Amino acid sequence: MQRKPRLNRRDWARIALQTLGITMIAVSVSLLGAHLILSTFSAGLNLTGIFATIALPIVLGGPTTLGFAIQNARLREAYRRLEAAAARDSLTACLNHGAFIAQANEFLNGTPHGQIRGALLVVDADYFKSVNDRYGHHIGDAALRQIAARIQGAVRQCDLVGRLGGEEFGVFLPGATQAIAESIAETIRRTVQTIEFEVEGNRFSLSVSVGGAVFESPVDYGELFRSADKKLYKVKNSGRNNVALMHLPVPGLDDSLLLKAG
C-alpha cells in the first residue's frame, strides 16, 4: 500500500491560511446575500439571522475546504518527490547528467559577477572496464555505488555531485577556493582507495583520477567542463590515481598573479 506524502509545517501553514481565507470569503458572501434578501423582504438581519448566516458556511464549507486544501498539499508534495526522483541517477542516487548541469548553471548564471567563484571536478574511475569484464556488471554497479558514496562523503553540504555517465562523476563546488577544491579532490582520491572487493577469492581495490578547474569570474559551463576534462586527460596519461587542477584566468588580471596548478 502506497504511503500518503507527509506534509511539513509550511504545508500545514498554507492549508490553514487557505481554509481560513476561503471560509471567511464564504461567510462574507453569505452575510451580504442574507442582508440583501432580508432587507428587501423584511426588516433586515437580527442576531439569530446573523449567527445562522455565519455558522452555516463555517459548519458546511469549512471541513470541505480543509479537505480540498489537504489534498492539494499532498498532491504538491507528491509532485515534489517525483521531480526530485527524476533528477537522480537510479544506481548511485547522485544527480543525473541533465540535473547536474542545470543546477550548476543556476549558480553560474544567477550569482552576481563580483561574487562568483567555485570549481568543477571531473572524477573518473580507473581501469573500470576491466572490473566489468572480469567480475561482471553487478560487481561494477556495486563499485560505482561505493565510489559515489565516497564522493558524497567528501563534499560539503552546498556542493553538487552528479553522475555524468558510465564511471564518470562531476562535482561542482560553489564558492570554493583553490585550496578547498584541491582538498576535496584529494579526499575523494584517497578515500576511494580504501574501497576493496573480494570476488571468488580475488581481492581488488579501486582508484580514481580527478581533473578540475577553479574559476573566480563568470564562465560558461561548457568551457569549465572542457578545462577540467583536459586536466583529467593529463592525469589519465600520466599514470592515473592522481589529482590535477587548473585555475582559469581572470579577465584583466596578469596571469602571473594567479595561483599555479599542476
pLDDT, tens digit (0-9, with 9 covering 90-100), for 123-163: 999 999 999 999 999 999 999 999 999 999 999 999 999 99
Taking only the tens place, the pLDDT of each residue in 158-182 is: 999 999 999 999 999 999 999 999 9
What are the residues whose beta carbons fall under 8 Å from the beta carbon of 3, sequence distance 6 or more? none
Residue 34 is predicted with a pLDDT of 57
Alpha helices in 111-239 (DSSP H): 128-135, 137-154, 178-192, 221-237
Of residues 144 and 86, more confidently modeled? 144
pTM: 0.69
CB 177 within 8 A of CB 187: no
Indicate the DSSP class of residue 46. Answer: -
78 backbone dihedrals φ, ψ, rounded to 5°: -65, -40
Lookup: cell for 222: 561548457
Output the CA–CA distances (angstroms, integers) from residue 143 to 16, 30, 74, 125, 153, in the order listed. Answer: 48, 66, 37, 9, 15
Lookup: cell for 211: 581533473
Catalytic annotation, residues = 167
Taking only the tens place, the pLDDT of each residue in 30-65 is: 656 555 555 544 555 556 655 655 665 555 555 666
Residue 250's pLDDT band (boundaries 50, 70, 90)? confident
